[in-house]
Structures are given as structure tokens and as C-alpha cells.
């Protein structure tokens, strides 16, 4: 197909592509400069490790929650379970799921607390992830 754009329009398009290619790396560099002002290199390493551990724990909590189910007849819902077995037995059947849910909530609260306290660390992780994505992802 024939491109009907003018040479000037093609140059502008190429320039916009070039600007987009450096925009994210510049954001990372600016954020790293800000982090240098807020934290020492040693503090950043500790915070990166802590954040990564919290994120992994959150994912593990999710996996545990998805794996946990009712100990008796896992395919039925809460109302049907209460009707069939009574509330006390239904609660006992669902104990593994509820324990996994409470553990996941606690881990996620720790992650949220960290992100609120250190939003720059969270942002840097997000930017690193975005930069690492390929053109076809």
C-alpha cells in the first residue's frame, strides 16, 4: 500500500517514536535520582529485598488460598452446606479456606503498608517491569 503522508509527517512520526523510546528510561533515571535523595544505597537494597519478599509472600498466599477448600464436599456453596450439615459443621468444613483467607489478608496488609510507606520503591518496581516488556507483550 502507498503511504500518503508527507515527508514532514513521516519525520514527525519517527521523532515521536524516538521520544517514546526514551520516555520510560528517563522516568526511571529521575526516580532513581529521587531515591538517592531519600535512601542510602544500603537502605535501598534492604527495601528492594523486603518489597520483593512481600510480593512473593502475597503470591504464595494467593496460591494457598486457591488450593484450600472445604474438607467435606468441596463443590457445594455455603448455604447448601449449612442446610445439609448445620452451621457448626459447615464452619469446620471451611476452616482451611478461612485460615488461608485470613493469612492472605495479613500478608496483603503488610504489602499495602510497605507500599504506602515507600511509594517510590513500588513505582520503581512498576517502571522496571514496564521497561522490561517487549514490543509484542
| Mean pLDDT in residue range 63-87 | 89
Q: Which residues contact 115 (CB under 8 A, 6 or more apart)?
A: 121, 122
Confidence of residue 10 (pLDDT cuts 50, 70, 90): confident
Return the domain boundaries, the chain: 7-132
Per-residue DSSP letter, 132 = H
If you count them, how many residues does the chain have?
137
Confidence of residue 20 (pLDDT cuts 50, 70, 90): low
Q: What is the pLDDT of residues 94-122, one digit of tens each?
A: 999 999 999 999 999 999 999 999 998 88
Q: What is the pLDDT of residues 22-74, one digit of tens each?
A: 565 666 666 677 777 777 889 888 998 999 999 999 999 999 999 988 888 88
Amino acid at each position: 500500500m502507498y503511504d500518503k503522508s508527507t515527508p514532514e509527517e513521516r519525520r514527525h512520526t519517527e521523532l515521536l517514536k524516538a521520544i517514546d523510546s526514551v520516555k520510560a528510561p528517563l522516568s526511571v533515571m529521575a526516580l532513581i535520582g529521587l531515591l538517592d535523595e531519600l535512601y542510602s544505597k544500603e537502605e535501598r537494597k534492604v527495601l528492594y529485598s523486603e518489597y520483593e519478599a512481600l510480593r512473593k509472600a502475597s503470591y504464595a498466599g494467593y496460591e494457598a488460598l486457591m488450593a484450600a477448600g472445604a474438607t467435606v464436599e468441596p463443590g457445594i456453596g455455603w448455604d447448601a452446606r449449612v442446610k445439609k450439615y448445620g452451621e457448626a459443621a459447615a464452619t469446620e468444613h471451611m476452616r482451611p479456606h478461612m485460615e488461608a483467607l485470613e493469612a492472605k489478608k495479613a500478608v496483603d496488609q503488610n504489602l499495602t503498608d510497605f507500599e504506602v510507606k515507600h511509594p517510590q520503591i513500588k513505582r520503581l518496581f512498576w517502571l522496571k517491569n514496564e521497561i522490561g516488556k517487549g514490543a509484542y507483550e
